[in-house]
Chain A
Amino acid sequence: MAEILTLLWGGFLVAFQPLNLMLIIFGCTVGLFIGAMPGLGSVNGVAILLPLTFLVPPTGAIIFLAAIYYGAMYGGAISSIMLGIPGASTAVATTFDGRPLAKQGLADKALTAAAVASFVGGTISVVLFTFFAPPLAHVALFFGAPEEFSLMMLAFATFVGLGGDDIAKTLFSICVGLVLSAVGLDIISGEPRLVFGDIPGFMRGINFLVLAIGIYGIGEMLWTVEENYKAGGKSMLSKAVVTVSRTVKNLKELLGMWKTMLMGSFLGYFVGILPAAGATPGSLMSYGIAKQIAPDPDKFGKGAVEGVIAPEAANNAASTGSMLPMLTLGIPGSPTTAILLGGMVIWGLEPGPLLFTQNADFVWGLIASLYAANLFAVIINVAFIPVFIWVLKMPFTLLAPIIFLLCLIGGYAPTQSMHDVWLMILFGIVGYLLRKLEYPLAPAVLAIVLGPLAEPALRQSLLISNGSFEIFFTRAYSAPIMISALILLALPLLKLLARQMKRKRSQA
């Protein structure tokens, strides 16, 4: 313990060197804005600015990138709440309640809740990271393909079991997302698969952003156009005011939700350290559990503050957690950490258990900078809330074309192909029609993110077991996860049976 604290103190001395401190503040601000752009997330920020870091020493470089990563995690919530478009896959769950809150004129409350929850999640996970890094790295080693697949199943089962939407439509939505994620080259044999109409654009597969921006950007905006038309052209995206007294009141209310924050933080951290799981399933599971433990679960999806807190605490905690396998095992837990890993290799740092002893300055400097990055990110974020609220006060007919513009560019930017822009518009229109018929669309977006992870995990597991599904039930870590998933899947059916039994009894 004392040894860790000494090392941490040394780390703080590194992090608070003037150059590094500047890098943290600059990184957080840049990250916040990149994260707030629909279609641009921490991956884009880190990837675009990686070359800049060759100008500073490796410790400064990773501190800068980690600050961008952190800033972007805070920023992702902003576009989820304000525009209803998740800035990145990790912020998908934040839209579920963040958007309704903004529509009710409580955008400031949602933004404050997101910032505070992110700060709590981030800080708790850094503390956990500081003290439990080496032993947890050891557990993560036992996670193989069957455990990964079980974890994915659990993520999908949460939707079916706890979603509360039409089961058939939820299932349909999940499967559409998974099938769309299978388009492109088969990961194992390399053969082209589901290349519709032999259009070469499909060979690259369908980027999740194309579906996410299509559904949440174009589709949501068409929906708003309809509502605006029905309201006689008077509706606004959101009306909200920010005053100091309102902010103080919001903060006081948040204090009462410490349980949800703690739950989200711990869950997010543990999911985050699992290789290949990361922040997206973490935030989703956290949302599902928060809904279940809440006294009034019916409020979820209609503007429950807990519905913003839970995923935001979890995704920030997970982003710290996902650095753990990267540093200790060299396995990135998320696409962003994969780029960070690439950077470390370029700077001549070999990730692995030895990093902690051979480059202690670097590791502890990074850990200390995470504490600092969290603090600055929350301050910068709260300071900018009035600016974001001001943007929302623009009339809809001025804001709408700007959002459409951001959608078009957001769809184009990741692959720079017009094919994706067309596909995005198609998804937007179909998504709008499906939404009118009450098909839940969030499961499809999550499925297209998790699909490329779930499929190889399933195929590798079956290859290990020679085709037997028993493998998911006989391994120590996989069995409990898979069984919980199956229980969740069966939950709606059990509820239905119970209701029918009750009806029969009351008739008799």
Chain B
Amino acid sequence: MRKAELTMAIVMGIFSLYLMWKSTELEIGWIQGEGPGGGAWPFWLATVMLISCIFIIVNWVRKASPPSRSAEVFMDRGTLIAVGLVAGSLIVTVALFYVIGVYGALPLFMIFYVRFLGRHTWPVTAAMATITPVATFFFFDIALKITLPKGLPIVEETIFYPLYKIFL
């Protein structure tokens, strides 16, 4: 935990410096007749971020904040695997949106989560994998007219064009 606290403060400090540098792409001083330049607001805020990070590091040295005193492990192996699997499956699901669309990726995500992470029975898994995409389609695509990504054009043309014809 102690190491993580320091690492995060340093990473965020560097991020603040990057933001300060990025803000200078616009004028950060006073422009006659226009007031403060467009970069001034983010520049000074990033400066405050940097100062805050320095204080977090000072507190770390003085052991003044709870995480800087904690001897606990920031993330043990099991937590890393549990959280990593979920985060990873989300990333893969979103990446699949481009190829097979929301309605292709969603059942796969449900099968992975409900069957393999949740260890539910196959009937429960099958129910989740069919009900959620169908409900989503009718609520968002049809009722609210928010078209969700359908993936490659071929997927949309063969599967969804006939559905649009019926329901829209």
Contact = CB atoms under 8 A, between A and B. Distances in A.
State the main secondary structure of chain B at its contact with A: helix
Contacts of A421: 94, 97
A206 interface: no
State the main secondary structure of chain A at its contact with B: helix
B67 A438 contact: yes
A128 interface: no
**Which range holds the interface residue count of chain A?**
35 or more
Nearest to A170: B52
A98 B12 CA distance: 30
A122 to B, nearest CB: 26
Contact of A175 (B48, B83, B120): B48
A404 B90 contact: yes
B140 A171 contact: no
Interface in A165-192: 166-169, 171-172, 175-176, 178-179, 182, 186, 188-189, 191
A398 B125 CA distance: 9
Contacts of B39: 193
A397 interface: yes
Nearest to A402: B132
Interface of A: 48, 166-169, 171-172, 175-176, 178-179, 182, 186, 188-189, 191, 193-194, 196, 218, 221-222, 225-226, 228-230, 395, 397-398, 400-402, 404-405, 408-409, 412-413, 416, 418, 421-422, 425, 428-429, 432-434, 436-438, 455, 458-460, 462-463, 467
Interface residues of B, number: 66
Interface string B77-90: 01100110011001
A264 B156 CA distance: 50
Contacts of A226: 79, 82-83
A413 B136 CA distance: 12
Nearest to B79: A226
B90 A397 contact: no
Given A172-B53, A412-B149, A418-B97, A398 B118 contact: yes
Interface in B1-29: 1, 4-5, 8, 12, 19, 22-23, 25-26
B52 A229 contact: no
Contact of A179 (B1, B35, B45): B45
Given A413-B140, A436-B74, A437-B67, A172 B114 contact: no
